[in-house]
């Protein structure tokens, strides 16, 4: 890891821990609805600083997969504050350290916008989910094709990627989800009062 990569990752962890609450407030209702009744084992890819921990049922087994080691301290602090036990693994969603058909649910919030290999990630999620298992997601996505916002997203993409650790504002994630091989994909499309990354999807894909 180069110094600048380390510094940038440290900055992102600090920024998410400090500013993430404002974003969380905007999606709180949706997360409560999506995450409040999970059972068994949940793998959270890109678990970051742990903003989702407070929505999980107490008895749920939670395993975070997070490549940025500077996020880990914040995630574990949040778990302590929530008085819950968690497991945390340094790794990437392109290669999940779980057996085939071994987990009940996988969660991604604001992660599919920046994974390096979307097809591999969705393939891994399908591999580790039990039959009938659910992939839950809250993600920002591309604005409608032809809209002014879509053009803006395309223009800022190179700089956005650099600043946001690979995050692309104009990913058509819902299309990737629909063709990944899930039995059923359902989601809401909605807009948040944010610049550039206003368009969002939240929903469930069932294996």
Residue numbers at the binding site for ligand SAM (CB under 6 A): 16, 20, 45-48, 51, 65-68, 71, 92-94, 109-111, 114-116
Least Cβ distance, residue 101 to ligand SAM (angstroms): 21
Whichever of 45 and 202 has its CB closer to ligand SAM, that residue is 45
**For residues 137 and 113, what is the distance between their CA atoms, to the nearest angstrom?**
11
From 113, 116, 61, select the one nearest 92 (Cα to Cα): 116
Q: Could you give the C-alpha distances from 96 to 15, 28, 172, 198, in angstroms and in order?
A: 26, 27, 23, 29
131, 180 contact by CB (below 8 A): no
Whichever of 69 and 132 has its CB closer to ligand SAM, that residue is 69
Least Cβ distance, residue 112 to ligand SAM (angstroms): 9
Least Cβ distance, residue 30 to ligand SAM (angstroms): 12
3-class DSSP state of 173: helix
- Number of neighbours of residue 87 by Cβ within 10 angstroms: 12
Least Cβ distance, residue 146 to ligand SAM (angstroms): 27
Least Cβ distance, residue 149 to ligand SAM (angstroms): 19
From 136, 186, 146, select the one nearest 170 (Cα to Cα): 146
Whichever of 41 and 109 has its CB closer to ligand SAM, that residue is 109
From 102, 105, 103, 44, select the one nearest 78 (Cα to Cα): 44
SS (H, E, C) 30-44: HHHHHHCCCCCEEEE
Residues 168/113/115/175 CA torsion (nearest 10 deg): -110
Least Cβ distance, residue 171 to ligand SAM (angstroms): 13
């Amino acid at each position: 890891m180069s110094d600048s990569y380390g510094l940038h990752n440290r900055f992102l962890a600090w920024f998410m821990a400090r500013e993430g609450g404002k974003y969380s407030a905007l999606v709180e209702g949706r997360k409560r609805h999506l995450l409040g009744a999970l059972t068994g084992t949940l793998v959270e890819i890109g678990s970051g600083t742990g903003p989702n921990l407070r929505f999980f049922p107490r008895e749920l087994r939670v395993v975070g997969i997070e490549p940025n080691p500077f996020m880990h301290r914040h995630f574990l602090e949040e778990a302590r504050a929530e008085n819950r036990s968690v497991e945390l693994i340094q790794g990437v969603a392109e290669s999940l350290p779980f057996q085939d058909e071994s987990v009940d649910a996988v969660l991604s919030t604001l992660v599919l916008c920046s994974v390096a290999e979307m097809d591999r990630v969705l393939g891994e999620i399908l591999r580790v989910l039990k039959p009938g298992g659910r992939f839950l997601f809250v993600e920002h996505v591309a604005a409608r094709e032809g809209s002014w916002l879509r053009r803006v997203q395309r223009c800022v993409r190179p700089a956005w990627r650099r600043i946001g650790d690979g995050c692309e504002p104009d990913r058509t994630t819902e299309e990737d989800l629909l063709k990944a091989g899930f039995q059923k994909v359902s989601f809401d499309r909605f807009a948040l009062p944010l610049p550039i990354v206003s368009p969002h999807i939240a929903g469930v894909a069932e294996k």
